[in-house]
Amino acid sequence: MSKFSIILLVFGLLLSACASKQKVVVPKKELPSWYVHPPKSDAYELFALGEGGNQQDAINNALSLVVSTLSVSISSSFRAKTVVKEGSVNSSDATYINKTQSNVQKIRISQYEILHVTRLGFKRYAAVIKVNKQKLFQGLKNEIDQKFEIYRNDIKNIQRLNALKQLAYYKNMKKAFGYIKNALIVMKVLNKGFDDKKYLAAMNEINTKHQYLLEHISFWVYSNVKSLTKPVISALTQQKFIIKKMKSKMHFDIYIKVKIQKANAYGFSLARSEISFITKDYKKEVLASNVIHVTGQSSQGYAIAKQNLVKRLNDLIHKEGISKVLNY
């Protein structure tokens, strides 16, 4: 048999083998009915269908859709508590409970249910969640009422503190209550009869007291090295404090004492300093103190190294904040 005939025979056998194989047909996966026809929100409950590359993304997107109906954008971290139903360990039949927070300010959803969560395909998941409107409203109201109750109890003691501590308190309150405006908007959508006047009045009171303190607190800075007062004064000015000698219960004096040692290293002139800060109130009582060490350096001599101390102190205040440097 010739070589050409052998090649034809082998080729024919290969063709017959391929033809004898049956075609493998992958059945098309049917989409679940809850995905095709997701439940619709009504007067009592909010529903949403979300998709994503994993379970977390799908749930996050479902939550965003739920709360978007309340004019709030949210994000969620997926730390789920699984409650397995009787006779089932399938994740799509599990219930998850989580807390969610706004991109802008925290808005808590105390309870929501994941009715379904399943994998639709490669890197494609879907989830349906449910939120009870009344529970959401009551959860937000309870949280806000608790915060304002703490605030009302604190006020009695806060008024006895010095102006700087009062300012710090109201600053923290403004930050802690920052999400409440968003929460009140959501609550009015959930309950048309909800009256938010007392909450808005309390928030306005906090803002007013914070602003009053900010406009009336004054400082004066003393130092045996005058150039080192500049970074401190600059930082206080940026926080909108008054820099002026005044006779007031809201006036504070800062005393800066500087010790400098001359040194050399690797061709550089060094000005090694120990800087102590003492802050006193209008009664001349010490409220705060701190000691830091800053080193100025220069290749152009000791005088320039001393000047570099100002920059180093300024950089430290910029990095740490003036309140941390002064330790008040």
Separation of CA 64 from chain center:
18
Packing angle between helix 163-176 and helix 133-158, nearest 10 degrees? 180
**Segment 53-100, tens digit of pLDDT:** 999 899 888 887 876 777 555 544 444 333 333 333 333 333 444 454
**In terms of CATH, what superfamily is 217-326?**
Lipoprotein like domain (3.30.160.150)
* Strand ranges (E), the chain: 45-52, 74-76, 81-83, 95-97, 100-102, 113-121, 124-132, 218-223, 242-243, 251-265, 268-280, 286-298
Q: In 3D, which of 76, 108, 71 has the Cα closest to residue 186?
A: 71
**Segment 2-32, tens digit of pLDDT:** 555 555 555 565 555 555 455 555 556 688 9
**Segment 213-262, tens digit of pLDDT:** 999 999 999 999 999 999 999 999 999 999 999 999 999 999 999 999 99
What is the distance between the alpha carbons of residues 294 and 283, in angstroms, rounded to a whole number? 30
Residue ranges per structural domain of the chain: 33-132, 136-215, 217-326
pLDDT value for 176: 85
